[in-house]
Structure 1
Amino acid sequence: MTQIKDIQPTEVWSVFDQMLQIPRPSRHEEKIQEWAVKFGEDLGLETIKDAVGNVIIKKPATPGMENRKTVVIQGHLDMVPQKNSDKEHDFVNDPIEAYVDGDWVTANGTTLGADNGIGVSSAMAVLASTTIKHGPVEVLLTATEETGMDGANGLKAGLLDADILINTDTEDEGVFSVGCAGGIDVTATFKNKTKKADKKYAAYKLSITGLKGGHSGVDIHLGRGNANKVFFRILKAAGEQLGVKLADIQGGSLRNAIPREAFGVVLVKPKKAEALAALVAEIGEAVKAELINVEPGLSVTLEETELPKTRMAGSLQKKLTNAVWAAPNDVVRMSDSMPGTVETSTNLAIVKSDDQKVVASCLVRSFSETAKLALATRLEAVFSLAGAKVELTGSYPGWQPNVNSEILEEMKGLYEKRFGKQPQLLAMHAGLECGILGATYTNWDMISVGPTIKYPHSPDEKVNIETVQKYWDFLVDTLENVPVK
């Protein structure tokens, strides 16, 4: 089998191979930060780790290029930890099992971490290169991007000297991202009221699996199923028609991933067990038919299980069910000014219960700050009416396109010269760090580029090998042609 480190360009893939060996899920980034610091120091370069875990490495200009504008190449060190339910993998301790699958590199049952590992690898390859001609280069590797953009939010002014930011977190080769949506988290918390489970009931595990999931910004327009919505669609009917009780719910796992799976234990009187099985099958088949073209792998199962000690109080179950089912989800509005682009969306990412509480988490995205807040408060209203305590947190700004960008014009010309076609310009619905970083470093001329990555934030994540070569060649071209100060 082809080794990851031997794929062309080896400058990039050999670094990515190192990253695959280092666990780096969000909020467990100490090992990858240590690796990044050592990488810079071993090259004899000025290396800084700031108070929030960002790593900054500075490389002087090559001879004759000292008069060029300073470029900062930026990526994030963390990755999304998603796996298939039948895959044994500890993201805090285990390396990623990557392999070559035809024209792609993917992973065995887990996310790959090409988002944003390939971008980080390209930045490190620039630092290590002795052949690339470039002006002053700074590499900014941010912390905890995937679960709150903590590194970008915590970056202090004055640490970097750059004039131009090249963000490496765009996931379609030949597409230049020139703007992005802002976002805000909406978290609804119910106090869990429980009752002793009546031994006259039978217990069943209801499982929603096989959905594709994906990135809640990049993939939200694809009409994929939401496991939480499917679960509570069934529960609403089962509760109203058969008196089914909910014991617990574990749906989704990450705020910025479309939920692929949801599992819960439900209780029903034995004489109504057959009716419950029929109802679950009926609704399951209806949902499959509705989503057949986008979710062919959807599975809805009901299996008998051990009776739990407690169940959720009926009043709370009703309020939770109605709130989750009523809450807006998916694309809410398309953009008028950017045809084909999602303006505003929300993802009902997580619904989870424990002995003390039940938490529902949504991530709202929009290019419009007012529309973002309007949708967030709309969700707040739904869950508040159901009796939940609702918090709006983690708001971050969008990145407005700059039509007069010097680096954009330079890179457009370079791309057309090398590849014989013009790049596509895109304002991403996904949240890039550029908006936050640009609010701190207001002088930066910003752009985002990258290779083609499919299905980020899901175990189907894969990166196209050919486009990594194209992306690397183009990045080198760009650095060699950065405008004069």
Structure 2
Amino acid sequence: MNKTLTELTNHPVFHYFAELSSIPRGSGNEKEVSGYLLRFAEKRKLAVIQDEALNIIIKKEATAGYEHVPAIILQGHMDMVCEKNKGTAHDFDKDPLQLQIKEDMLFASGTTLGADNGIAVAYALALLDANDLPHPALEVVITTEEETTMKGALEVSPDHFSGEVFINLDSEEEGKLLVSSAGGITASQNLPIQWEPLTGDTSAFLIQITGLYGGHSGMSIHKGRGNANKLLGRLLNGLSEAFDFRLSLLSGGLKSNAIPREAEAVIHVPEAHASRVPELADIWESIFKEELRTSDSRVSVTAEKVNLLHEQVYSAETTGSVINSIMLIPNGVQSMSQEIEGLTESSTNLGVISSSASAITFVSEIRSSVKSLKEQILKQNERIARMTGSSFTTQADYPEWPYRKDSKVQKLFEEVYENHYGKRPEIVAIHAGLECGIFTEKLPHIDAISLGPDMFDVHTPEEHLSIPSTIRTWEYLLSALREMKAFYS
């Protein structure tokens, strides 16, 4: 492509994407970007609402000839997953993303790019800013905290909308029209820590699982990639079968909806067994490399002897409960759809393990397109929490988006796609959670669809966006909006 970043941002979509990339917008840190969107609308004298959840709703009147076409609700989310490579000096609370072009792809330097879902916001802003693009009345809603709790969509009031057609722009594959998605819920098990004095002649080791690929816990869960938390649990279980030890630290993963790439623990081993720790770590690395030879061959296991002044360690009971929890908490694909070939129906991802002075927390992201199966996995986690003496909480329960056989907007986008590309688009359901389920539950009359350009490795520092696909999808969206006058007449 050989474009410079300056040249690329002459395109209206990339202009706004670059502006968004200069604003920190991790989930829960959307105040600044919400304010930016509010000022954008006010400057253009567009009707705008900023609600208590910091959602932004911007309305624009129909262009001439489109006054009688049903209003369009155009939707995306302003927050992003904040992941970075180890050693990357980037503060997601204040630093702008460093965009860079590699061939025809857009990356950020050492961090997630935030194309999920900044590209939806950029599309919306480019459309709202234009004066020469025909379209029906627009009701643009940009939500907050989609990547964590879906709080924004859950709290948005349906009273703000009159639109009958809902276009979500949070998809990641050009040529695929999404018509259904999974529901989900986040489950947390909180294991109280019993501390005891460290006694005897011991050595401390920092055990680390690194080098894994990670990925989106919905879109990539079926790819067989290693989960660092689960691998760490297996390693600790293997060590516990060889000799006694105590834990004093445990952590892994950063987000419940990202397959964890790294995990670590500090163990305290009787000096008589210290020499065996690196040997067993090497054996487990070989096991993991063989198991993950196709999906995650870069997996690394290290056991480094460290000098620590810890006077307190987890009790034998707590250490055992930690290992039991990691080993028993389900992870990965739980069921496949019997109706749609290749579609993951239900899954769960042990995405985060974190420690405080009082408890260890295990956080899982549970997904299913069948409500009863989601509840079954949830109950399984709750039973495991009882067995290990953990408390159990949930948050961010969001509904599935059911398929609508008589969708008129699906038919429109199919026809426009065929005219635009000379072939039919693929109609798909996905295992990832989309806000469409929340909006179709709040607004049961709406006819919804989801689309987007090609993006890759989302929720990882390798995330990248296809520049040509982004431009083609923009033109496709404009064509669909333009054709609505004839289609809905």
Deviation at 1:42, TM superposition (A): 1.3
Equivalent residue letter for 2:262: E
Deviation at 1:63, TM superposition (A): 1.4
Q: 1:214 matched to which residue of 2?
A: 215
Q: Trace 1:294-305 onto structure 2 (pairs within 5 A).
A: 294-305=295-306
Q: 1:167 matched to which residue of 2?
A: 168
Deviation at 1:480, TM superposition (A): 0.6
Distance in 1 between residues matched to 2:248 and 2:341, nearest whole Å: 45
What do residues 240-292 of structure 1 show as CA deviations (whole Å, max 9, x unaligned)?
Answer: 21212211101111111111110111111223122111011101111011101
Instruction: Determine which of 318, 321, 335 is the counterpart of 2:320.
Output: 318
Equivalent residue letter for 2:405: V
Q: 2:336 matched to which residue of 1?
A: 334
> Are positions 1:462 and 2:464 aligned together?
yes
Q: 1:84 matched to which residue of 2?
A: 85
Deviation at 1:2, TM superposition (A): 4.3
Q: 1:110 matched to which residue of 2?
A: 111
2:209–2:301 Cα contact (<8 Å) kept? yes
Distance in 2 between residues matched to 1:254 and 1:3, nearest whole Å: 33
Distance in 1 between residues matched to 2:311 and 2:464, nearest whole Å: 42
Higher mean C-alpha deviation, range 137-146 or range 62-71: 62-71
Deviation at 1:389, TM superposition (A): 0.9
> Are positions 1:479 and 2:476 aligned together?
no
Q: 1:99 matched to which residue of 2?
A: 100
> Are positions 1:247 and 2:251 aligned together?
no
> Are positions 1:190 and 2:191 aligned together?
yes
Deviation at 1:171, TM superposition (A): 0.4
Distance in 2 between residues matched to 1:9 and 1:309, nearest whole Å: 60
Q: 1:128 matched to which residue of 2?
A: 129
Instruction: Determine which of 436, 439, 444 is the counterpart of 1:437.
Output: 439
Q: 2:379 matched to which residue of 1?
A: 377
What do residues 435-464 of structure 1 show as CA deviations (whole Å, max 9, x unaligned)?
Answer: 001111111110000001111111111111
Distance in 2 between residues matched to 1:284 and 1:225, nearest whole Å: 12
Equivalent residue letter for 2:21: L
Q: 1:60 matched to which residue of 2?
A: 61
Deviation at 1:40, TM superposition (A): 1.0
Deviation at 1:196, TM superposition (A): 2.2
Q: 2:424 matched to which residue of 1?
A: 422
> Are positions 1:147 and 2:148 aligned together?
yes
1:77–1:116 Cα contact (<8 Å) kept? yes
Deviation at 1:386, TM superposition (A): 1.1
Coordinate RMSD, CA, aligned: 1.3
What do residues 97-155 of structure 1 show as CA deviations (whole Å, max 9, x unaligned)?
Answer: 12111121111111110000011100111001122111111110001111110010001
Distance in 2 between residues matched to 1:384 and 1:439, nearest whole Å: 33
Q: What secondary structure is seen at the aligned counterpart in 2 of 1:181? A: strand
Q: What secondary structure is seen at the aligned counterpart in 1 of 2:360? A: strand
Deviation at 1:212, TM superposition (A): 0.9
What do residues 219-242 of structure 1 show as CA deviations (whole Å, max 9, x unaligned)?
Answer: 100000000011111111112212
Q: Trace 1:383-398 onto structure 2 (pairs within 5 A).
A: 383-398=385-400
Q: 2:202 matched to which residue of 1?
A: 201
Distance in 2 between residues matched to 1:344 and 1:428, nearest whole Å: 11
Distance in 2 between residues matched to 1:288 and 1:244, nearest whole Å: 25
Distance in 1 between residues matched to 2:388 and 2:250, nearest whole Å: 17
1:8–1:469 Cα contact (<8 Å) kept? no
Instruction: Determine which of 307, 311, 320 is the counterpart of 1:309.
Output: 311
1:192–1:353 Cα contact (<8 Å) kept? no
2:9–2:18 Cα contact (<8 Å) kept? no
Distance in 2 between residues matched to 1:448 and 1:233, nearest whole Å: 39
2:353–2:360 Cα contact (<8 Å) kept? yes
Deviation at 1:352, TM superposition (A): 1.3
Deviation at 1:296, TM superposition (A): 2.2
Q: What secondary structure is seen at the aligned counterpart in 2 of 1:401? A: coil
Equivalent residue letter for 2:204: A
Equivalent residue letter for 1:385: M
2:184–2:367 Cα contact (<8 Å) kept? yes
Equivalent residue letter for 2:279: A
Q: 1:444 to 1:4 in 2, by over 3 A?
A: farther
Q: TM-score, normalised by structure 2?
A: 0.97
What do residues 299-356 of structure 1 show as CA deviations (whole Å, max 9, x unaligned)?
Answer: 1111122222321111011112012112211001100011110000000111111111
Deviation at 1:199, TM superposition (A): 6.1
> Are positions 1:271 and 2:272 aligned together?
yes
Q: What secondary structure is seen at the aligned counterpart in 1 of 2:432? A: coil
1:9–1:469 Cα contact (<8 Å) kept? no
Q: 2:356 matched to which residue of 1?
A: 354
Identify unmatched segments of 5+ residues in structure 1.
Answer: none
Equivalent residue letter for 1:455: D
Q: 1:22 to 1:8 in 2, by over 3 A?
A: closer
1:99–1:107 Cα contact (<8 Å) kept? yes
1:25–1:91 Cα contact (<8 Å) kept? yes
Equivalent residue letter for 2:432: A
Distance in 2 between residues matched to 1:194 and 1:17, nearest whole Å: 49
Equivalent residue letter for 1:66: E
Distance in 2 between residues matched to 1:5 and 1:400, nearest whole Å: 42
1:247–1:312 Cα contact (<8 Å) kept? yes
Matched positions, count: 485
2:455–2:463 Cα contact (<8 Å) kept? yes
Distance in 2 between residues matched to 1:153 and 1:293, nearest whole Å: 39
Equivalent residue letter for 1:18: E
Q: What secondary structure is seen at the aligned counterpart in 1 of 2:433? A: coil
1:6–1:13 Cα contact (<8 Å) kept? no
Equivalent residue letter for 1:193: Q
Equivalent residue letter for 2:482: E
Higher mean C-alpha deviation, range 329-338 or range 305-314: 305-314
Deviation at 1:184, TM superposition (A): 1.2
Q: What secondary structure is seen at the aligned counterpart in 1 of 2:133? A: coil
Q: What secondary structure is seen at the aligned counterpart in 2 of 1:409? A: helix
Identify unmatched segments of 5+ residues in structure 2.
Answer: none
Distance in 2 between residues matched to 1:384 and 1:254, nearest whole Å: 24
1:242–1:276 Cα contact (<8 Å) kept? no
What do residues 1-28 of structure 1 show as CA deviations (whole Å, max 9, x unaligned)?
Answer: 8443532771100000001100000000
Distance in 2 between residues matched to 1:158 and 1:6, nearest whole Å: 41
Distance in 1 between residues matched to 2:307 and 2:85, nearest whole Å: 24
Distance in 2 between residues matched to 1:399 and 1:130, nearest whole Å: 34
Distance in 1 between residues matched to 2:301 and 2:448, nearest whole Å: 45
What do residues 404-433 of structure 1 show as CA deviations (whole Å, max 9, x unaligned)?
Answer: 011110110000001011111111100000
Equivalent residue letter for 1:477: S
Q: 1:280 to 1:417 in 2, by over 3 A?
A: same
